[in-house]
Amino acid sequence: MTPNPFLGVFFHWLGGLASGSFYVPYRGVKKWAWETYWLTGGFFSWIIAPWILASINTNDLLAVLREAPWSSLWWTYFWGAMWGLGGLTFGLTMRYLGMSLGMGVALGYCAAFGTLMPPIFHGEFVTKVLHTNSGLVILIGVVVCLLGIAIAGMAGMSKEKEMSEEQKKATIREFNFAKGILVATFSGVMSASFAYGLDAATPIADITARHGTSPIWTGLPKLCVLLLGGFTSNFIWCVLLNIKNKTGYQYYSAVIRRESPHREDETIIETAIDAPSEETVERIPGAKKNGVERAPMLGNYFFSALAGSTWYMQFFFYTMGETQMGDYKFSSWTLHMASIIIFSSLWGIALREWKGSSGFTKGLLAMGLATLVFSTVIVGYGNYLATMK
């Protein structure tokens, strides 16, 4: 199959749409703690969806994994677990820096490290990137992407400056620039581990291809191992919070217990598009029967499953897009980061989060989004040049 970089860009856009949209179903979850609904959704995003779709679209999934080198399986799993730690600290970044500045810093680190480290590690950065026209074009695209992230972050900072003191206290009550930068650096660098895991899993994709699987689906078995690592770190953290907050009963009982950390007037603002480190569901009084307050169990499981499955689709499309990028598949990470910011920002506009902002701030946002879109075109063109050799 001849790679089609522009088709790859389209697949990455679909993945960005899924990643930028997955938190919306969580708005339907009521009276559950963060650790309960995050782990419930996680079973679908990290375990159920990857294995079902890999089993359907690839040949001999279990045989492929049995034949995979242990070193590849281990490093894929390890980097997945490290990525999980990066996701868990993403919420702290939002807590100390705010949504816009925090996301810009963390995803900036994530885009840079996740894109450039694999070719540097393989010793290909000079020969494949700096010494080829296509590689230089892709590198320019990466720089333009980082510029777009910076402009989008500036728009967020401008928006926050235009807020009243009451609004600032409500959204960034624990603002701490020094602490926030340290946490954002850790979160961004660790979240880039997902790209390292995909690179370490290359032998798994090669074995999948040898078993007769269509090239476009060869990345799916990689996700089964990589996301198992992410599941491990998230599972441990969520269970610890279930124990600490006494919320483990929420998985099987609809009755709200007094020791559960809920109040009818409690409202906690959502703070991240990745795994946050504190509760993020808006607390709305549940239904009462015979004076007993209950959580809507069926609805909570449904919305958590929908959110988790939607989250997984970002990497389902990611692996499809990666197969179309030829020798420069490392550029897929830049496309992924750019697409996430584009679509999450569009959701923010649709949900009227930018209502009341000045024309200057909205202009910065539009410029940032346009720059990010332009970066994906540049990266796609660079990959296209590589196919013309």
pLDDT category at 362 given cuts 50, 70, 90 is confident
Q: What is the pLDDT of residue 24?
A: 80
Which amino acid is present at 179?
K
Mean pLDDT over the full length of the chain: 80
Q: What is the pLDDT of residue 283?
A: 42
| 298 or 263, greater pLDDT | 298
pLDDT, mean of residues 146-166: 75
Q: Is the pLDDT of residue 23 over 80?
A: no
Q: Is the pLDDT of residue 272 over 60?
A: no
Cα separation of 17 and 20, whole Å?
5
CA angle 164, 166, 168 (to 5 degrees): 70
Q: Is the pLDDT of residue 83 over 70?
A: yes
Q: What is the pLDDT of residues 87-134, one digit of tens each?
A: 788 767 766 766 556 666 777 777 777 777 777 776 777 777 777 888
pLDDT category at 387 given cuts 50, 70, 90 is low
Cα separation of 348 and 351, whole Å?
5
Q: What is the pLDDT of residue 65?
A: 96
Q: What is the pLDDT of residue 148?
A: 82
Averaging pLDDT over each range in 163-167, 306-310, 366-370, which range is the top one?
306-310
pLDDT category at 227 given cuts 50, 70, 90 is very high
Q: Is the pLDDT of residue 385 over 70?
A: yes
Three-class secondary structure of residue 267 per DSSP: coil
267-272 contacts at long range (C-beta below 8 A, 24 or more positions apart): 269/170, 269/171, 270/23, 270/26, 271/91, 271/94, 271/95, 271/99, 272/90, 272/91, 272/93, 272/94, 272/99, 272/103
Neighbours of 170 (CB within 10 A): 12
Q: pTM for the full model?
A: 0.77
Quick one: DSSP state of residue 294?
E
